[in-house]
Amino acid sequence: MDHLAFIELMGEWGDALGVAVIVVGVIWGLIRFPLDLSRQDTDFAYTQIRNQITRTLLLGLEVLVAADIIRTVAVSPTLQSVAVLAAIVAIRTFLSWSLILEMEGRWPWQKSQSTLK
């Protein structure tokens, strides 16, 4: 196996890992939801599953971006493929920021309330 085929395979494994992280994290959140409901109130359980899924999506997006970078930069570093990568990274970065805003109620570059005190 030549090195380009190996790098392409690593990119594909990265994609599979990113999807697996998202699927497992969502399933784990769904399994924990009834347990949280039995121990706490509905608002707590909802917050827990929402945060679990958000964290899972953030981690999965990071793995998918890494796989795209590996595949684009190492396998086919043409101007068009780098432009497509830049667009993908921009979209996923926006999604990550939106998820953090949803989960924490602040933008990623803003200090949290706990560090302001």
- pLDDT digit string, tens, across residues 41-97: 888 888 888 889 989 998 998 999 888 888 887 777 788 888 888 898 888 888 888
pLDDT band for position 115 (50/70/90)?
low
Tokens 């190492």 belong to residue: 74
Percent of the chain with pLDDT over 70: 94
Percent of the chain with pLDDT over 90: 21
**Residues 20, 28: contact at Cβ < 8 Å?**
no
Average pLDDT, the chain: 85
Task: Tell me the whole-structure pTM to 2 decimals.
Answer: 0.75
- pLDDT at 117 > cutoff 70: no
- pLDDT at 18 > cutoff 70: yes
**Residues 53, 29: contact at Cβ < 8 Å?**
yes
Q: Domain map of the chain by residue range? A: 3-116
Residue 30 tokens read as 């769904």
